[in-house]
Chain A
């Protein structure tokens, strides 16, 4: 099946710094990518939808200036957590899909802000 690669798998950063997470579709072109966040012991919550070549659409309650999403090509979307704080510590997962087929999920990134 199709592969979505997410990098890094784990990252620890200091409070106030920014962290970039990459999501790549390795063997297909993804017109749309999704970013999810998973708090401990909770389900995945959709943060934003990223469309290649256009601005991301953020879900209600998600700060677009804090969670910057860039979808520069059909195979790469990035999520940058700006000025990270300990409450941003979470598990972030990206998903990519091609129209009229299924969605494929990355392996996730565990972000710890200290």
Chain B
């Protein structure tokens, strides 16, 4: 089985500042890794995913994440955030058959002017 830990439940940050949202996972098998964003009362939107290849993954809206196998981490970063990035972000893992997704508890990013 897999599990995902998002260490920060809330991250306040000022506009145009950099941000990092942390995600650690545990798994006995190789996994795929994902970051999703959820705006209030909406579903999930895929930000980026790591399936294989380069460990630095670039996604939409200027976000990127780095897969670190030794540290079992997949932290999400953005060099300069906007007010519109205020949302909840979920890290997720799945096995390589996409049989199930396991989600972290989410991190609320609050971008202040």
Contact = CB atoms under 8 A, between A and B. Distances in A.
Interface in A89-112: 91, 93, 95, 97, 99-103, 105-108, 110
A52 to B, nearest CB: 15
Contacts of A97: 98
B43 A107 contact: yes
B56 interface: no
A103 B98 contact: yes
B35 interface: no
Interface in B61-103: 90, 94, 97-103
A110 B41 contact: yes
B5 to A, nearest CB: 11
B42 A43 contact: no
Contacts of B43: 6, 93, 105-108
A108 B98 contact: no
A71 B99 CA distance: 16
Interface centre among A46, A103, A110 (most CB of B within 10 A): A103
A78 interface: no
A44 B100 contact: no
B45 to A, nearest CB: 8
Given A34-B100, A34-B101, A101-B98, A44 B41 contact: no
Contact of B101 (A42, A95, A107, A108): A95
Given A46-B101, A108-B42, A108-B44, 14 more contacts: A6-B43, A32-B99, A43-B103, A43-B104, A43-B105, A44-B44, A44-B101, A93-B44, A102-B46, A102-B98, A107-B42, A107-B43, A108-B41, A110-B41
